[in-house]
Structure 1
């Protein structure tokens, strides 16, 4: 039997994993500057965590979730997104308590799971980096989160980015708009897709997010939610737009954008990139928004929240397409060449000494001839080769060679063991 990875998954091989680590390290460094702290939640949750938060009419709940009953007959779901699990942890661990400094700023990284048709940058097991901030309704926080998402993508070297924003308003806004949208769509009921027919009276905003081409034509002239914003919602959205302008962050308003999850309200946004590697037109790389009722929905006190998520696979594809230069990782400082069986113990001691001094080091493990060892050192782009044979061992010395210049020098073994950093620095200056 030939064993293969499950459809919709991928093996992240060492060369690729280095790029993943780089993206994660850049994100962690940036999030720390904005005072966000890491949180790690389980990869599976109770089904209701997602069905209550994402909405029972969303594609995630109705079509895409990996859910099953475990041996205790508990209804379990592999997490399809990160926000609901973080909110559940926020509530369960009482991170809303009076001792917590508000807003509580959290970030997460890890795998998510959705049963959908695999395509470029979108697998059934995919990885997200996301942030969540709880405890403030301030438009300043909305803009800070948006700015942080843009800043992250720019730090990773991406170009041709576009910010699109909208407001979904408050509950009063949603109620008024819901009625207007149903009134507009009901005369076209027979023309709607089966999914949209089912959603029309349960959650008509889902029709705006339909991927069906005929549905998209029908909603093209639908009422705009921006015309139904309450004065408070209008003020919040106006402040967000003004603050973006104050930060010189260009944006577009798309009144038809609703996002794919039911918990959003007020500000929502998508950061898009234009690149054919992800398909025709503008493709979303990072997206999020405000969800002021989600904490209460999952059993906590009234607590506003806002966040974003981005897919790492899609991000790396885009970085590759835009030829972003990634830093060299796992560079080899020293390769130790041992000549003869009697040097085996000394070569092991040398590589360990170099590592203990804070440098990377490697050696031959296959009993190869010196020429083959030098060839390997060259293939590995070793900065320095350290050679020891029977004669050097007798004299308690080693030979150093800078591979880039060919400069060589013989040094005492004791100097390697006692003060390698200084020895190497002086040698490389020659």
Structure 2
């Protein structure tokens, strides 16, 4: 049954070898590049703090496909099903609202013990965890401001929430032996014309300075800040703009988060990676698919996903770039969405690793742009799919669309019963 795949792989290896590419070396590298799956795809960003509460902060999950996870056990089971259908290493990205507690816990009082179930789960599966403070969908964010709020007491609440989140993130890294990347994003902004754009940004800068003032072990925890162009309810002014976050990350030497949907529709983050890497020590990439801006659709194997992967590989940024996903689609099977998006991201990385980068750079540096273009186009038709199928076979995950039957069975037996 597997013989045709093995035969196709042998032929593909030879085709790539003829172009100076070591397929086995590419697969070895691919096996070292984890993608951090986002927990919030499984329950439409509801969390367990108040799962029936209203989403705010410009966030919307549209659709009512059956089977949304209602608690941590269901969510972990769904993630397990998705991860079993995806080859290669994975991580999990958690938001603070995914805590587990028998009684209500305010966000400025969260502790590592509220995430012990997640750490136990991750340790058993040998995956790392990443983290995010949740600065939205809360009474103290109802007016659209958190860390940049005029009220010092409200600001202190969110500062303390982010500080508590850093301790949880560092605990993840200590417990699991791999650093947790903690991403700070806030929805702060205004719907209409804004007179004073400076003061809120000064407050945000001072607030983040306070948050990161305690030095934590970088082997356990990495700080990151994420920008946004605008959001629903903040169409005219976003405090944490790209310029703010790039300047902040560069001046404080922390990681910068680039989200594929957080820019003008004609902008792409693949073109920003090489510039940002000159000034910041690390990047966190939120790979998503904007349709008419930040709509967080499931990642496709499209031009921008491929361009992001190419930038990571061509510039050898493996140790400085962290790859995470960020989409939430409730109009299709949520577990399938994880599988589709994560497999596509890994396909893009594989295709990037199967480029003769040194040969392409040599052509470029010598001014032979004709050969550069010709080779780039010919590479598109080399049999990377045969390499992908062989890697799936080695990883003991379904090949092609065979994974869909597993999802359908899981849907019938589990999801539709919720």
Give the TM-score band, short-chain normalised: under 0.3
TM-score by length of 1: 0.25
User: Which structure dedicates a bigger proportion of its chain to strand?
Assistant: 1
User: Which structure dedicates a bigger proportion of its chain to helix?
Assistant: 2
Between Structure 1 and Structure 2, whose CA radius of gyration is higher?
1
Structure with more relative contact order (C-alpha pairs < 8 Å, separation 6 or more): 2
